[in-house]
């Protein structure tokens, strides 16, 4: 079935940029027809999904993200040691090489590096997810309004984003975090979101401007649809693709940024566990004992890699021009 459905679906997507396809049920694919009512806007997504789930890049990144998510939600499944319990650390065992007892060795405090690395996943993912949601909500909504309305709101918001673009983001985040004496997951999220929303805004605004001059929007307007209906039923679903791609890639970027800020000492603070903080803690004795630094670094890299791979795969699936 999938062999015959794919070219048909692809064809439908090309047609989409010219006009909205008529609402006839798609034969051969029951998937598209199941979402009754919302079937028309969903066709791009179900088509992308059909394409996506056959891509090795997507499967690899989805498996990786699944494991990392599980690690964040239930770290107890991966290790029986609770690194938040200080009695599990023995100073006498500091900087041991990896062994059967301590898979990744021990750090400068004699704590188990493996357990700490596993428990570090939750803070990283929390910052990444919350910042992404915040930037998509704020930047996306403002971008939708600015692109759709144009005029004064657009001009004002665009000037404001220019100011934000000119501020170097790492230094800006560092400053915002310095205002709050002790960094937490929430202050890091706030600092990153404040500096990152203009990017989502620009992408959304550009996509909305393209979408609102399409024939199907003019047709909807001619049929008497209200602004609100056009905005949310027609323009928004057709502008989401590029925002979602960038949001997925940025999720990885935010995780890396959190590690960087925690490394500098303004992000998440001890006794909370963060990969960036572990790297900073291991740094003074790095040349004698590299494993307490290298293992969290490896987990951090793989996590960022997984989200960037996912973003690449989603973009390839959503953008037929790149095929």
Partner 1 sequence: MGRYILRRLLQAIPVLLGATLLIYAIVFALPGDPIASMYGDKRAPENVVNAMREQYHLNDPFIVQYWHYISGAFQGNFGRTFAGVEVSSIIASKFQVTLNLAFTALVMEAVIGVGLGLYAALRRGRAQDTMVLASTLVLISVPTLVTGFVLQLLLGVKLKQSTGIEFFPISGVADGLHSYLLPAFVLAGTSIAYLTRLTRTSLAETLRADYIRTAVAKGMPRRRVVGRHALRNALIPLVTYLGADLGTLMGGAVITETIFNLPGIGQELFRSVYERQQPVVVGIVTLLVLVYILANLIVDLLYAVLDPRIRYE
Residues at the interface with partner 1 (CB under 8 A):
159-160, 162-163, 165-172, 174-176, 178-179, 181, 252, 256, 259-260, 263-264, 276, 279, 283, 286-287, 290, 293-294, 297-298, 300-301, 304-305, 308-309, 312
Task: Provide, rounded to whole angstroms, the least separation between the CB of residue 281 and partner 1.
Answer: 13
| Phi, psi dihedrals of residue 234, rounded to the nearest 5° | -115, -55
CB of 73 to partner 1, least distance (A): 23
State the minimum distance, in angstroms, from the CB of residue 273 to partner 1.
16
Contact 312, 163 (CB under 8 A): no
Nearer residue to partner 1 within complex by CB, 172 or 237: 172
User: C-beta of 309: minimal distance to partner 1 in Å?
Assistant: 7
Is the Cβ of residue 89 or residue 279 nearer to partner 1 in the bound state?
279
Q: Which is nearer to partner 1, 1 or 166 (CB)?
A: 166
* C-alpha torsion angle, residues 264, 266, 272, 275 (rounded to 10): -30
Q: How far is the CB of 315 from partner 1 (least distance, A)?
A: 12
**DSSP reduced 3-state for 95:** coil
Q: How far is the CB of 293 from partner 1 (least distance, A)?
A: 6
Question: 97, exposed or middle or buried, with CB in 10 Å at 0-12, 13-18, 19+?
Answer: exposed
Minimum gap (Å) between residue 57 Cβ and partner 1: 9
Considering beta carbons, is residue 72 or 173 the nearer one to partner 1? 173
Residue 321, exposed/middle/buried by CB under 10 A (0-12, 13-18, 19+)?
exposed
- Cβ–Cβ under 8 Å, residues 101 and 81: no
| Minimum CB distance to partner 1, residue 174 (Å) | 7
- List the alpha helices (DSSP H) in 213-287: 215-222, 227-229, 236-264, 275-282
Q: Where do the H-state alpha helices sit in the chain?
A: 2-16, 30-34, 39-52, 56-73, 113-149, 151-166, 169-179, 185-212, 215-222, 227-229, 236-264, 275-282, 291-318
Peptide bond into 271 cis (omega under 30): yes
Q: Which is nearer to partner 1, 207 or 304 (CB)?
A: 304
Reduced to 3 states (helix: H, G, I; strand: E, B; else coil), residue 84 is coil
Can you spell out the DSSP letters for 157-173?
Answer: HHHHHHHHHHS-HHHHH
Residue (115 or 293) nearer to partner 1, CB: 293
Strand, coil or helix: 176: helix
Which is nearer to partner 1, 39 or 290 (by Cβ)? Answer: 290
- For partner 1, the closer of residues 100 and 287 by Cβ is 287
């Amino acid at each position: 079935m999938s062999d015959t459905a794919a070219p048909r679906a692809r064809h439908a997507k090309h047609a989409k940029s010219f006009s909205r396809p008529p609402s006839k049920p798609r034969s051969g694919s029951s998937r598209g027809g199941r979402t009754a009512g919302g079937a028309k806007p969903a066709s791009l997504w179900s088509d992308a999904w059909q394409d996506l789930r056959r891509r090795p890049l997507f499967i690899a990144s989805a498996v990786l993200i699944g494991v990392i998510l599980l690690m964040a939600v239930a770290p107890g499944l991966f290790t029986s040691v609770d690194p938040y319990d200080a009695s599990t650390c023995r100073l006498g065992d500091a900087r041991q090489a990896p062994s059967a007892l301590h898979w990744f060795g021990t750090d400068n405090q004699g704590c188990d590096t493996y357990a700490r690395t596993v428990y570090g996943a939750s803070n990283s993912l929390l910052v990444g997810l919350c910042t992404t949601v915040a930037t998509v909500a704020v930047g996306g909504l403002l971008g939708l309004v600015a692109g759709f309305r144009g005029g004064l709101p657009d001009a004002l918001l665009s000037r404001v984003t220019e100011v934000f673009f000119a501020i170097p983001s790492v230094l800006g985040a560092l400053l915002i975090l310095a205002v709050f004496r002790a960094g937490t997951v929430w202050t890091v999220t706030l600092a990153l979101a404040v500096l990152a929303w203009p990017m989502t805004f620009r992408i959304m605004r550009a996509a909305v401007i393209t979408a609102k001059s399409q024939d199907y929007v003019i047709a909807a307007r001619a049929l008497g649809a209200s602004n609100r209906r056009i905005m949310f039923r027609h323009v928004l679903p057709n502008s989401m693709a590029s925002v979602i791609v960038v949001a997925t890639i940025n999720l990885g970027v935010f995780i890396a940024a959190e590690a960087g800020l925690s490394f500098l000492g303004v992000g998440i603070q001890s006794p909370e566990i963060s990969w960036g903080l572990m790297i900073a803690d291991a740094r003074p004795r790095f040349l004698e004992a590299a494993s307490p630094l290298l293992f969290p670094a490896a987990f951090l890299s793989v996590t960022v890699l997984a989200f960037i791979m996912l973003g690449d795969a989603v973009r390839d699936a959503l953008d037929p021009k790149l095929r």
